[in-house]
Structure 1
Amino acid sequence: MDSASFEIIPAVDIQDGQAVQLIGGKRGTGSEYGDPVKTARDWIDAGAQTLHIVDLDGAFEGKRVNAETIESIVDLSDTVTIQVGGGIRTASDAIELLDLGVDRVILGTAAVENPSIVEEINDRRPDSVVVSLDAKNGEVVVEGWTEGTGIAPAEAASRYENLGAAAILFTDVDVEGQLAGVRSEHTAAVVDAVNIPVIASGGVATQEDIQELQSTGASAVVIGSALYEGELTFDEALSAVQSVR
């Protein structure tokens, strides 16, 4: 993996009108960090080239909730890549977001329950679908991380590559938001299963964690709590990538 191509992506998770970070994917945990639009602007000003936006209310309720906030974030810049997930359950939901100016839609529950939706959206908007595989205890979970599927992440990743997914977002929910370090072997298993980019997420607390995930062959890492809690600055995260040779 060329260090220049490995990307640091700040997370902007939205719940009850606030930018938040949950612990272990559990609703009602974690901390609030203020206006998500201002938060997104701050990350753009810091130099982020991609933003990872999650409508957590939508993820838990099964329908899009924070459409106006997301639209305001899209309007902040026409040069930053915006990927959005949470509450996208139909191809129409996805196309609506893409028409709004979102660059990539992230499908989790919808892709697991109806895999053909990936192919349907890809046929209409090629290279616009990122399939989110959130894993707890070695299996993909859905419905806001509350229901197990019995499917291993690597197996699922291969399936969605064949259906036209442009990338896989792999989140290790067991360590998400805990600032306790990454489990890179889980990400590596997904990377090894596919030929499309894999975006890693979950557990990053240090520059070493970033380097460890980069070494798996992942294309990027989404970072939330470590940035919000000051464990890492955005510049420090970038420096970690640049130091890998």
Structure 2
Amino acid sequence: MFPEFEVIPAVDIQDEQVVQLVGGERGTETTYGDPVEAATGWVDAGAETLHLVDLDGAFEGDRENAAAIEAVVQACDLPVQLGGGIRTVSDATALLDGGVDRVILGTAAVENPDIVAEISEQYPESVLVSLDAKDGEVVVSGWTEGTGIDPAEAAQRYEELGAGGILFTDVDVEGQLAGVRTEPVARLVEGVDIPVIASGGVATIEDIRSLRTAGADAVVVGSALYEGQFTLAEAHEAL
């Protein structure tokens, strides 16, 4: 999935605008404009993959920003991974048939783990299971509901079901530009053989290096890039 370590820009969409939330909390967002402009800007800056999230879909369960996301997919000729509001096999397969390369399942995978196997059987390596952790447990429904599930144990289960990779978001540090925590990532990586994408807390290029050292195959970066902490080109050069 990732022949070399990748830095993946995040395009999180709420009310048809690119935003970044702090700690996953609605009402904390900073807005960064039109999704297509943001996405094509990252393509021009050298992105190899785009990470799209329909935040309204994640919170409400319905893909409220479907039109904006379709416009991004059509405008950008590179791999796209998409999460937020994907709840059924038909949702996922329609997106994969429509040009999305990987679907990200969070709530749906927790509530119905077999959905991972169903989609993966038709589209191998197309499912990323999103394990978003807060206070050490997996959270769902836009990071608002705890599950009591240990992320590392869950990752092993989803690997057995055919997941192509794990997207691990450390919600406790998400969007705060205060640095990453490598221990949860390293613990998860040790338990699986599929790729692990890390997200949450990146503030510096050194944070990215630390996540790579912890074993992550890629890292999703949002606020640090949008706020100019470093450029995508600088991250690529440093790595």
TM-score range with shorter-chain normalisation?
over 0.9
* Deviation of the 1:240 alpha carbon: 2.7
Query: Would you say how many aligned residue pairs link Structure 1 and Structure 2?
Result: 238
**Is 1:131 aligned to 2:129, yes or no?**
yes
Deviations 1:171-199 (A, max 9, x none): 00000000000001111111011000000
TM-score, reference length from structure 1 = 0.95
Alignment of 1:164-243 (within 5 A): 164-241=162-239
* Deviation of the 1:59 alpha carbon: 0.4
Contiguous gaps of at least 5 residues in structure 1: none
Q: Distance in 2 between matches of 1:5 and 1:190?
A: 19
What residue identity is the alignment partner of 1:134? D
Q: Distance in 2 between matches of 1:150 and 1:211?
A: 30
Contiguous gaps of at least 5 residues in structure 2: none
TM-score, reference length from structure 2 = 0.98
Alpha carbons 1:184, 1:213 under 8 Å: kept: yes
* Deviation of the 1:63 alpha carbon: 1.5
Alpha carbons 1:210, 1:240 under 8 Å: kept: no
* Deviation of the 1:65 alpha carbon: 1.2
Q: Distance in 1 between matches of 2:16 and 2:27?
A: 14
Q: Distance in 1 between matches of 2:63 and 2:153?
A: 28
Percent identity among equivalent residues? 69
What residue identity is the alignment partner of 1:16? D
Which residue of 1 is the match for residue 71 of structure 2?
72
Which residue of 1 is the match for residue 60 of structure 2?
61
What residue identity is the alignment partner of 2:103? V
What residue identity is the alignment partner of 1:91? V
Which portions of structure 1, spanning 4 or more consecutive aligned residues, are displaced by more than 3 angstroms?
Answer: none
RMSD value, Cα: 1.1
What residue identity is the alignment partner of 2:224? A
Alpha carbons 1:133, 1:170 under 8 Å: kept: yes
Alignment of 1:36-55 (within 5 A): 36-55=35-54
* Deviation of the 1:64 alpha carbon: 1.1
* Deviation of the 1:30 alpha carbon: 2.4
SS of 2:75's equivalent? coil
